[in-house]
Amino acid sequence: MKLEPFIQKTEQVLMVPSWSQISDQLIVGFTTKNGGVSKEEFQSLNLGLHVNDENNSVVVNRKKLADFLRFPPELWVCSEQTHKNKIAKVTTDERGTGVFTYEDSIKDTDGLYTTEKNILLTLCFADCVPLYFFAPTKQIIGIAHAGWKGTVQDIAGEMVRAWACEGVKPDEIQVVIGPAIDKCCYIVDDYVMNFVKDLDRVNSKSYEKISNNQYRLDLKEVNYQLMTRAGIPPENIQVSSYCTSCENQLFFSHRRDAGKTGRMMSFIGFKED
Ligand SMILES: [Zn+2]
């Protein structure tokens, strides 16, 4: 039985204590849907600016999170996520992008990494799989958004390859696969499954056929297999067992809430010494 990497710290936030033990300046976690000010389907800690919630409510929610993390919003980076596999290296010059208005988000980018401190990398989620990357030897951190589209485009492997250009070997990379819709609640059809089955060296442990044109798909497992394929040792990979659809008191779920819902935020950043 593997340990759950995320521990709920407050009404609003789950954190990853095993990584904080490696470096106490490393801030890494995932939000819940609770403890914010948004109303109706966004009740209450909606952190996505792009889902037709009141902009001001989202900004208040983001400031609440910033206060708890003691990581001011001016130091955050937010991107426009488009279910592709583009990864951007960000620097202190990009800080503040997409934090208060969606229009100035980093465009068309589903993965972020940095080698610098005092930057909080953030992405928004409501079922898709958050992937967290950390190479303690090089003090490099990253985050990626892997729904089924990003997963079959191997955004996990893209991050490993981007880091290879930074001189980071796959066996130096620690990974956490975060809360996401799990196989208990994620049914897909042949259209999606054909992309999954086309992935080299991804095996049937990640899915189960339940009827004609219906499969249970384990996107966390697919990402796990893609990471090991990219050379990350299995012992470096921690997987959350939280299902965003099952845990309806804790999380928004795009599928469970039929598309009308808010967004959680995954985040990782180093504070300055
Ligand atoms: Zn579930």
Is 140 in a helix, a strand, or coil?
Answer: strand
pLDDT band at 1 (very low <50, low <70, confident <90, very high): low
- Report the C-alpha gap between 186 and 214 in whole angstroms: 10
What's the average model confidence in pLDDT over 40-62? 97
Host domain of residue 86: 7-181+224-270
62-114 confidence digits (pLDDT tens): 999 999 999 999 999 999 999 999 999 999 999 999 999 999 999 999 999 99
Q: Does the residue 193 lie in any domain?
A: no
Beta bridge pairs of residue 87: 111
What is the reported pLDDT for 263?
98
Q: Does the residue 135 lie in any domain?
A: yes
Instruction: Name the strand (E) or helix (H) holding 210.
Output: strand 207-211
Task: Give the strands of the sheet with 140-146, arranged side by side.
Answer: 87-89, 111-114, 140-146, 129-135, 174-177, 237-239
List the CATH number of the domain containing 16.
3.60.140.10
Whole-number Å distance, alpha carbon 245 to ligand 1 midpoint, is 5
Instruction: Name the strand (E) or helix (H) holding 13.
Output: strand 13-15
Whole-number Å distance, alpha carbon 182 to ligand 1 midpoint, is 5
Q: Which is nearest to 125 in space by CA: 270, 269, 271, 250?
A: 250
When divided into structural domains, the chain yields a total of 1
Whole-number Å distance, alpha carbon 96 to ligand 1 midpoint, is 34
- Report the C-alpha gap between 184 and 246 in whole angstroms: 8
168-223 confidence digits (pLDDT tens): 999 999 999 999 999 999 999 999 999 999 998 889 899 999 999 999 999 999 99
Q: Does the residue 60 lie in any domain?
A: yes
Q: Does the residue 217 lie in any domain?
A: no
Q: Does the residue 2 lie in any domain?
A: no
pLDDT band at 272 (very low <50, low <70, confident <90, very high): confident
Q: Does the residue 209 lie in any domain?
A: no
Whole-number Å distance, alpha carbon 181 to ligand 1 midpoint, is 6
What is the reported pLDDT for 82?
97
Contact 217, 196 (CB under 8 A): yes
- Report the C-alpha gap between 6 and 186 in whole angstroms: 21
What's the average model confidence in pLDDT over 108-130? 98
Q: Does the residue 204 lie in any domain?
A: no
Q: Does the residue 1 lie in any domain?
A: no
